[in-house]
A and B are shown apart, each in its own frame.
Chain A
Amino acid sequence: MTDTVIVHDSHDIPHASAGKYIQIASVLFVLTALEVLLYEVCFGHLKGSGLSTSLAPHFVSVLLILSAMKFWFVAMFYMHLKFDIKVLTWLFAFSLVIAAVVICALFVLFTYNRTLWWATGSWK
């Protein structure tokens, strides 16, 4: 994909061209189709083949990777982070780091609260 950009006037940050937006939309559509196909192969109508046996253990991780790719494409191109000033990228990245900390904290809190770690003796 080429990095074609358009500058509309002197005050604007350059954004991607319409062609680039179409390319990104196609990529997002394909990634979503892959997510659904992965589900169908592992647990849905296409279950039972050798492919489903080998893919099923990696279902969650593959799904998360596909979602992360879609997230990256939307944030970088549709939200213009690739073309805007870096302060906005850092601001968003900082929020995501804090969100990751919140997610970890909640998992630890709920796991501890359900005494799963306590019961096994690994939480002292």
Chain B
Amino acid sequence: MTAAVLDHASEHPHEEHHTSLPVNSRKLAIWTFIGSECLFFASLITTFVIYRNSHDKGPGPKDVFGVPLVTAGTAVLLFSSFFVVMALNGAQQGDRKKLLTWLSLTVMCGLFFVGMQVYEFTHFVHEGMGYRSNLFASSFFTLTGFHGTHVAIGTLWLGTLLKDAYKGRIPPQKALNLEIAALYWHFVDVVWIIIFPVVYLMSLGT
């Protein structure tokens, strides 16, 4: 029976996996993963909020944070969410040109954001804020570093889909492949929607 199932799977690699719920199992899986990520980032953000004033030794947020660059990064990430839904719209309509254009823009936004974060981290280290400078620095680098890693993974994921789209491997029937990656990307954006005001604006203001 197992062999028969495997044969069926190899003959129909993209057939939908039916579950008792009226939702695709892969979509359910990514939402479950996103749910677990909520707990992960909730812990990291709370830890930062608790330790944000623990900078007796070394620089604090008001010494190193700058609003303009991070605002630009936030805007780019927000626009990338818009770009990826437009790419999905193109994939679902079978409009390859639209898919390629918007998906390319999304990948570029991801690269810009990662670049911005690398620049920001380098700048902070030059300002004397290393990972071990104080608890504020440790919790800041851990939180934003993990978020940046998620952005980098998302950019790679969307990059592979861009390659597939370029080769014409994302017809409307396989638009779900892009939708799942887009859900992950939107979640990364949603996390930044929290990080930007809580980590940067509140640390500078209060």
Contacts and interface: CB of A to CB of B under 8 A. Distances in A.
B193 A74 contact: yes
B82 A8 contact: no
B31 A64 contact: no
A69 B58 CA distance: 35
A95 B39 CA distance: 7
Q: Is the interface of B mostly helix, strand, loop or mixed?
A: helix
B181 interface: no
A60 B71 CA distance: 18
Contact of A107 (B50, B74, B82, B182): B50
Interface string A8-33: 11011001101001101100110010
B199 to A, nearest CB: 11
Contacts of B39: 95, 98-99, 102
B82 A75 contact: no
B145 interface: no
Interface residues of A, number: 53
A67 B201 CA distance: 12
Contact of B78 (A32, A85, A95): A32
Interface of A is mostly: helix
B202 A60 contact: yes
Interface of B: 16, 21-23, 27-28, 31-32, 34-36, 38-39, 41-43, 45-47, 50, 67, 71, 74-75, 78-79, 81-82, 84-86, 88-89, 92-93, 172, 175, 179, 182-183, 186-187, 189-190, 193-194, 196-198, 201-202, 204-206
Interface of A: 6, 8-9, 11-12, 15-16, 18, 21-22, 24-25, 28-29, 32, 35-36, 38-40, 42-44, 59-60, 63-64, 66-67, 70-71, 74-75, 78-80, 84-85, 87-88, 91-92, 94-96, 98-100, 102-103, 106-107, 110
